[in-house]
Structure 1
Amino acid sequence: MNIAYLVNRYPTVSHTFVRREIAGIEAEGHQVTRFSIRAGPDDLPDPADRAERDRTIVVLQRPLSLLLGIGRHLLSRPDRVLAAWRASGTMVPRSIKGIVTRTAYLAEACRIADAMAAAGVRHLHAHFGTNPAAVARMTHLLSGVPYSFTVHGPDEFDEPRQLDLAGKIADAKFVVAISDYGRSQLCRWVEVDRWPRIVVVRCGVDLSAIDRADGQATPGHDFCAVARLAPQKGLPILIEALGILRRSGLSPRVAIVGDGPLRTTLEREAARIGVGDQLTLLGSRGGADVAAQLRAAKAMVLPSFAEGLPVVLMESLAVGTPVVTTAVAGIPELVDAGCGWVVPAGSAQALADAMAAALATAPERLADMGAEGRRRVERAHDARENARALLAHMVAA
């Protein structure tokens, strides 16, 4: 079976779970054609991501060719083009900018439909219920090839009506949520008789790859945070918590792995609060180095405001490192007192208290918590097993 995958920007450092999912499907003997709407970054630190970039078809290239593709489809199947155009009107705001976006989506869908026909693709799967799912829906209406999509959150949960999640679900063969919480949010927007097509397939990690990873950690840090430097990750609250701890006589050091728009803000806030010497911004790192940094920490800290179910929590628990995180979305489905500390989102005091508790916890207890976390990941977040579960839905579709 030839399956197509569509992601907005792939590969990237934050989408390694997609790469693992594709690898799991290919390991079962199926072929995967990869589509990325936009090209991935050139400076990928992980060799596996760089190799994946060479296997990926970038859709948004050669504008004239894209427009000619619309013309060809209009001449051959105008009824299907009209259906796709009408569907785009429910997923994009009505404005001049919206018309441009709808035209771009249609052009992208035409190109993907042509490439899928040439490759003999029998099913299209998109990651994220935002524009990848919109383009996948339009591609389905153009080609007749069934489609599905995975909703991660939190973006889809913020604007379900504007994104027309209900329409996307109605046209899909099935829809994947990565947690029970995520499934509940999707069920809110569709009729009860459509709930059975919303299934839970959790994201996973490659446990064998994590176990054999031989990376380098930057030494001298008590905690590690792995996150995109974006507002929803709540990292300014982490800096505020460091200030609280410092005033109480504790000065733990934190390594932050990741990059993003808040880098300068975080540096400025750390200096203002007086904890700049406790914070190290390491930037993006390859998977082996991330695993090493997590192993070297007493605990991983992720003070997110909004999430789906972060893969980095699975990665931390997989290496045996407990986590300090927030009680949002699907996180409590994985983390509780058995393998970490769960605090209210937005509370710097609660985060500081949990970090202080982690610092005071005996190494033997930290090891026990890490071992329990590893068992949970093995049970519910093995990438190979979860890829098989997703594949079963695709084959049935």
Structure 2
Amino acid sequence: MWILPQIEELRGRGHQVVVILPPGRGRLTLELQRRRFEVAESPFDFRIGAPSLRGLLGLRALIRRLRPDVLHYHLLASAFAGRFATLGLPVGRVHMVAGPLYLESPLIRPFERLLWRLDDVIICGCQHASDRYGELGCPPHRRTVATYGVNTDRHRPDWLAPTATPVAGLDHDPRVSVEARAKARAELGIAADTFLAIMVSYVYPPIRLVNRGRGIKGHDVLFPAWRRFRERYPNSHLLIVGGGWGEAGARHRRELIDQFGISADPGITWLETVDDVRPWYAAADVSVSPSLGESHGAAVEAGAMAVPSIVSEAGGLPETVDEQCGWVVPMNHISALTDALSEAYATFEDGTLIERGHAARRRMVKLFDNRKSAVQVADTIESVAARRRRR
């Protein structure tokens, strides 16, 4: 759904936008149709590892028929397909990097060192991705940074209020979230004085060529760290929100549940994917993102909801917090994560964790609002189109 503010900005400027997606009636397709965007079915399924020359040629024919000024693609498989399908065509290419993990791969990096040259501009979703492309030889003027971010009006701690009522220098009314917090905790069976940590993430299947076949989101780091932490502080609870991404992700989720005995652990609740995460953030005291590879992830949603975060050093995650609003721990480090949870608990007990949440909210509004970044993306696409027309 993160393309929506970007294409709304482009349409608002008077541009025609066509979104090419695989066939089917997924959530994104349905939302695009509801908003009256044109959706074209792709003959190519965008899956790396199962390329179809016929599908790629069909995608090329579709693009030739649409005659776009600029082709804007996000995910790596889409980048490969978009680049090769448009070789020799008079179209600008803008690659936006959603997740930078592939830039750490010793197998993919040599190819990307050559293939980025087919892009007119690479819009990096985090500074980390821009730095990695710099290492591959991409000059600064061809690797701008614009975050995917979060809608800080939709994700706000007082979202239940019809209008915002700033209080004590804040841009929201923290009193409004009290009722939402109580309701969500009641549904979970969590007491008001219990320290509640939350991790919001899909469970992606392990990829054999990345992270030595481990899941990317770090569930296998969090669970042992949480067990150690809860031995020290039993008045604590961990809420996991997110189902498996596809069938393979669902299988990996079941493997994690079995491996770590989640079903029998009274200190952990694991919910499937939900349509609206705001009630669960409202219930939480701290968000945890122990990822092994990430851009900004759930930390921006949590921060917009005035929930401070503990993040790993992976990818762009450290960009989401500072010393006022969160903690950064080494990647894949169980003891460091346990210690950070303990520090968060100490601030929970002394009452200063709330101030960290307010600081997180201010940081998201200033640096990660997706409507501001949508303007940057639209500006970049327009500049590429203008340069193409001058050739």
Same fold (TM over 0.5): yes
Take 1:279 and 1:47, find their aligned partners in 2: how far apart are those partners? 34
Structure with the larger helix share: 1
CA distance, structure 2, for counterparts of residue 361 and residue 343 of structure 1? 17
Q: Does 1:56 align with 2:56?
A: no
Counterpart amino acid of residue 144 in structure 2: V
Alpha-carbon shift at residue 48 of structure 1 (Å): 4.7
**Alpha-carbon spacing, 1:322–1:53, altered in 2? closer, same or farther (3 Å):** farther
Unaligned runs of 5+ in 1: 1-15, 64-91
Question: Is 1:36 aligned to residue 36 of structure 2?
Answer: no
SS across alignment from 2:86: helix
SS in 1 for 2:123: strand
User: In structure 2, the residue corresponding to 1:295 is in which secondary structure?
Assistant: helix
2:147 to 195, 199, 202: 202
Contact 2:286 2:309 in 1 (8 A): yes
Q: Give, as a single letter, the amino acid of the residue that structure 1 aligns with 2:42.
A: V
Q: Distance in 2 between matches of 1:271 and 1:336?
A: 34
Change (3 A) 1:321 1:345: same
Deviations 1:10-46 (A, max 9, x none): xxxxxx22223223333344332111135464xx499
Mean CA deviation greater in 244-253 or 321-330: 244-253
Structure 2 unaligned spans of 5+: 161-179, 205-214, 385-391
Question: Deviation string for 1:132-190 (max 9, x for gaps)?
Answer: 01122134325311111112311243256467323432122111111221111112223
2:241 pairs with 1:252: no
Match of 1:177 among 113, 121, 124: 124
Aligned partner of 1:31: which letter? Q
8 A contact 1:205–1:381 mirrored in 2: yes
Relative to structure 1, is the Cα distance of residues 50 and 395 closer, same or farther in structure 2, using a 3 angstrom cutoff?
Answer: closer
What secondary structure does 2:332 align onto? coil
Corresponding residue pairs, total:
336
Indicate the residue corresponding to 2:197 in structure 1: 223
- Please state how far the C-alpha of 1:126 moved relative to its aligned partner: 0.2
Instruction: Indicate whether 1:319 and 2:305 are aligned.
Output: yes
- Taking a change above 3 Å as real, the CA distance of residues 238 and 50 of structure 1, as seen in their structure-2 partners, is farther
* RMSD across aligned positions (CA): 3.0
Secondary structure, counterpart of 2:55 in structure 1: helix
Alpha-carbon contact 2:126-2:146 (below 8 Å) kept: yes
The separation in 2 between residues aligned to 1:252 and 1:285, in whole angstroms, is 23
TM-score normalised to the size of structure 2? 0.77
Deviations 1:257-284, CA, capped at 9 Å, x for gaps: 1111222122113327x96222222111
For 2:243 and 2:110, the matched residues in 1 are separated by: 27
Task: Sort the Cα spacing of 1:223 and 1:249 in 2 relative to 1 into closer, same or farther, 3 A.
Answer: closer
In the alignment, which residue of structure 1 is the partner of 2:211?
Answer: none
Question: What is the CA–CA distance in structure 2 between the aligned matches of 1:110 and 1:299, rounded to whole Å?
Answer: 49
Aligned ranges for residues 322-337 of structure 1 at < 5 Å? 322-337=308-323
What percentage of residue pairs aligned between the two structures are identical? 21
Measured at CA, do residues 196 and 375 of structure 1 come closer, stay the same or move farther in structure 2, by a change above 3 Å?
same
For the residues of structure 2 that align with 1:318 and 1:23, how far apart are their CA atoms? 21
What is the alpha-carbon distance in structure 2 between the residues aligned to residue 364 and residue 177 of structure 1? 37
What letter matches 2:317 in structure 1?
I
The correspondence of residues 285-364 of structure 1 with structure 2, limited to 5 A, is 285-286=274-275, 289-310=276-297, 312-362=298-348, 364=351
Partner of 1:17: 2
For the pair 1:395 / 2:382, whether they are aligned, the reply is yes
Of 92, 105, 115, 1:168 maps to 115
